[in-house]
C-alpha cells in the first residue's frame, strides 16, 4: 500500500476514512487466511454484506488517521483505539507521524455528498491492504466503529508472523438504520442506580448501536434529580425507594456527567418527570402539589395510580416550569418526557387540562414533549410524541392527530417482564417474554393503521420495582436488549430468528469481557470462548 503522503497526494484530504493497511516490508511473505465475512456474528445485522477473498490484519504497527471537517472524528478514533487496546492489548496511535510507508493505517473518511441513505449510514471496505470506513458524519463513524469492534477476533492468530496478528474478514458492508430512534429506558426512581451503573449501561447499549437512553427520574417512590429551586425534592423525596432502602439522587453535576458520557457515545438522553400521576415523592416534599386530599407519607411499595397533582392550581404549574427549565438547561437533546401514564386519581377533564398546559411549558423551554400513550387523549400538538406501551387505540389516536409514536408495547418490549416462570427477577403482568418472543415481532406492522413513517422508533423500557443493583439490571436487560437493538436498526428483510439466535450465541466473549450478568436463556446454544481467550479479554 502507498505511504500516507501518497494518499494525501491522491486527494484523500477532502474525505474522512478509517482504513487499516498491513504492517511492514515483510508483509508479502505472510499468508493471510481467507475468512468469510458473511459468517461473522454481527449484531445488528448490516443492510448489505459482500464477501471477498482474504483478510485484513490488525497488529502492533497499526495507527489511526482522521480526515474531514468534523472535529469529533478524532474523538471517535481515540475511542476505537481504546477499544482495540481493551480487546487485543495493542493501542494504535491517533494522527501520529511516521516515515514508514508500510505502517498499518486506519483512516476515517468523511464523504459529504447527497448519496447517503441518512446521517448514520456507513460503508466499510476491507481488503488485504486496507480497512476503509466511509461516512457522512462522526456519528456514522461511531456506528461503523461498533461493527469494526465486532469484526476483530477475540484472540490473535499467532501462527502467521513473529508478532500477534488479528485477521479481519475481507469484504464490503453497506449499512444504515431502519429507525433513527433506537432506545432503552432505565427506571432510576423505584430503585436508584449510580452514575457508574448508568455509564456501564450506556457502554453496553452503544455497542449494539442503540442511540437513546430514556431516564425515568421521578415516581411515587423517589425523586432522583436535584432541582436547585426546590431542594426538598431530593432531600425528602429522594430519601427512599422500593423496599425501604436509602434511595439516592443525581446532583446536577452527576446528571451533566451522564449527559456528557452519553454524548461521547452519540447517545441522546431523554429525561422523564412523570406527572400528574406517579407524583407521591414530589407531593410529600411539597404538599401544596397534592391533588388527592389524603394524608401524605413516603412510599416504599409498588402500587400505582393513587397519586396526582392538583391540576387546577397555578402554583403547581409554576413548580413544573422551574423543574422543566432546570432539567432542560442540562439536557442538550430535543426531548422532555412528561410521563402521563396511569393517572387513575386524576379526573379526565383535569388530566386533559394538565397535559395541554404542561405541553406549553415544555415547548417554552425549547423541547419536544414526549408522553406515554395516554397523552393522546388531550388536545396536544402534532409535534408532540406519544409512547405506545399499553393502548393501541391511543397510539392510533395520536397518529390521527399528526403525531409520531415510539413503540414500547409491554407485551413485547418491556425488559422488566420475566423470561419465564423460573426467572429470578421481574414481573409478568403484561406477559412472560422469553428471548425469542422479544425478537419475533415486526415494529413496522405491530399496530394496524400506523404507517412506518409515523413510527419514530423502538424503545425497550426497564422498570426497576424488582431490581436494585447492576447485576439484576443486566439479568433482565440482556440478552433481550440486543434483540431490540436489531429490531430497531436492521431492515425487516434481514431479520430472522434462527439466524439471530446463532449470532446471539456468539456474543458471550463480549458479555464476559464486560462482566455482564446476562440471563443464559436455554433457547440459545451459547458459545463459550476457551478459558485462554476469556483470560486475555479480561486482562
Angstrom distance (rounded) from CA 226 to CA 88: 41
Question: Which DSSP category does 454 fall into?
Answer: G
CB environment 355-366: b (16+ within 10 A), e (fewer): beebbebbbeee
Reading the block at residue 340, the C-alpha cell is: 402521563
Alpha-carbon distances, residue 268 vs 77, 163, 181, 202 (angstroms) = 20, 41, 9, 10
Residue 252 near residue 228 (C-beta atoms within 8 A)? yes
What phi and psi, each to the nearest 5 degrees, are found at residue 461?
Answer: -80, 145
Name the burial class of residue 243, with classes exposed (0-12), middle (13-18) and buried (19+) by CB atoms within 10 angstroms of its CB. Answer: middle
What phi and psi, each to the nearest 5 degrees, are found at residue 168?
Answer: -115, 130
For helices 138-151 and 73-88, angle between their N-to-C axes, nearest 10 degrees: 10
Q: Closest by alpha carbon to 444, among 487, 387, 497, 384? A: 487
Reading the block at residue 100, the C-alpha cell is: 514508514
Active site residues: 342
Strand partners, 135: 110
User: What is the distance, to the nearest Å, from the Cα of residue 481 to the centroid of all Cα atoms in its chain?
Assistant: 9
Which residue's C-alpha cell is 508478532?
A: 163
Amino acid at each position: 500500500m502507498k505511504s500516507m503522503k501518497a494518499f494525501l497526494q491522491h486527494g484523500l484530504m477532502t474525505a474522512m476514512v478509517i482504513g487499516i493497511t498491513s504492517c511492514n516490508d515483510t508483509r508479502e511473505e505472510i499468508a493471510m487466511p481467507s475468512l468469510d465475512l458473511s459468517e461473522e456474528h454481527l449484531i445488528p445485522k448490516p443492510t448489505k454484506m459482500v464477501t471477498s477473498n482474504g483478510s485484513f490484519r490488525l497488529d502492533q504497527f497499526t495507527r489511526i488517521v482522521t480526515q474531514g471537517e468534523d472535529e469529533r472524528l478524532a474523538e471517535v478514533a481515540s475511542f476505537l483505539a481504546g477499544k482495540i487496546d481493551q480487546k487485543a492489548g495493542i493501542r494504535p496511535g491517533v494522527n501520529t507521524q511516521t516515515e514508514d510507508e508500510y505502517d498499518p493505517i486506519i483512516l476515517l473518511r468523511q464523504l459529504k455528498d447527497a448519496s447517503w441513505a441518512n446521517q448514520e449510514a456507513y460503508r466499510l471496505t476491507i481488503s488485504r491492504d486496507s480497512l476503509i470506513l466511509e461516512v457522512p458524519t462522526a456519528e456514522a463513524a461511531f456506528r461503523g466503529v461498533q461493527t469494526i469492534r465486532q469484526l476483530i477476533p477475540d484472540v490473535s492468530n499467532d501462527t502467521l508472523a513473529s508478532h500477534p496478528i488479528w485477521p479481519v474478514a475481507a469484504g464490503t458492508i453497506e449499512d444504515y438504520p431502519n429507525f433513527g430512534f433506537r432506545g432503552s429506558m432505565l427506571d432510576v426512581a423505584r430503585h436508584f442506580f449510580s452514575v457508574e451503573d448508568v455509564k456501564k449501561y450506556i457502554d453496553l447499549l452503544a455497542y449494539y448501536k442503540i442511540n437513546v437512553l430514556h431516564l425515568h427520574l421521578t415516581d411515587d417512590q423517589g425523586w432522583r434529580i436535584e432541582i436547585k429551586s426546590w431542594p426538598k425534592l431530593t432531600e425528602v423525596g429522594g430519601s427512599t425507594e422500593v423496599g425501604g432502602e436509602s434511595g439516592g439522587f443525581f446532583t446536577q453535576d452527576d446528571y451533566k456527567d451522564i449527559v456528557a458520557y452519553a454524548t461521547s457515545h452519540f447517545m441522546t438522553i431523554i429525561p422523564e418527570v412523570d406527572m400528574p400521576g406517579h407524583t407521591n415523592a414530589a407531593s410529600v416534599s411539597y404538599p401544596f402539589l397534592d391533588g388527592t386530599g389524603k394524608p401524605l407519607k413516603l412510599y416504599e411499595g409498588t402500587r400505582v395510580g393513587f397519586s396526582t397533582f392538583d391540576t387546577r392550581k397555578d402554583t403547581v404549574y409554576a413548580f413544573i416550569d422551574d423543574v422543566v427549565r432546570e432539567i432542560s438547561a442540562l439536557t442538550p437533546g430535543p426531548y422532555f418526557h412528561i410521563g402521563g401514564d396511569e393517572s387513575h386519581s386524576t379526573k379526565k377533564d383535569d388530566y386533559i387540562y394538565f397535559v395541554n398546559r404542561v405541553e406549553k411549558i415544555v415547548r417554552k423551554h425549547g423541547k419536544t414533549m414526549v408522553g406515554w400513550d395516554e397523552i393522546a387523549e388531550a388536545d396536544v400538538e402534532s409535534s408532540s410524541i406519544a409512547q405506545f406501551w399499553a393502548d393501541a387505540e391511543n397510539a392510533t389516536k395520536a397518529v390521527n392527530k399528526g403525531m409520531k409514536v415510539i413503540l414500547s408495547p409491554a407485551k413485547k418490549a418491556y425488559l422488566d417482564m420475566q423470561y419465564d416462570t423460573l426467572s429470578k427477577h421481574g414481573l409478568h403482568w403484561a406477559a412472560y417474554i422469553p428471548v425469542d418472543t422479544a425478537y419475533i415481532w415486526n415494529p413496522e406492522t405491530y399496530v394496524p393503521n400506523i404507517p412506518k413513517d409515523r413510527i419514530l422508533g423502538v424503545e425497550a423500557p426497564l422498570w426497576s420495582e424488582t431490581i436494585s443493583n447492576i447485576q439484576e439490571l443486566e439479568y433482565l436487560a440482556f440478552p433481550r436488549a440486543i434483540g431490540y437493538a436489531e429490531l430497531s436498526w436492521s431492515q425487516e428483510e434481514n431479520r430472522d430468528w434462527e439466524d439471530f439466535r446463532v449470532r446471539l450465541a456468539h456474543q458471550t466473549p463480549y458479555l464476559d469481557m464486560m462482566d455482564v450478568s446476562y440471563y443464559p436463556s436455554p433457547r440459545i446454544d451459547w458459545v463459550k470462548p476457551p478459558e485462554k481467550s476469556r483470560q486475555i479479554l479480561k486482562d
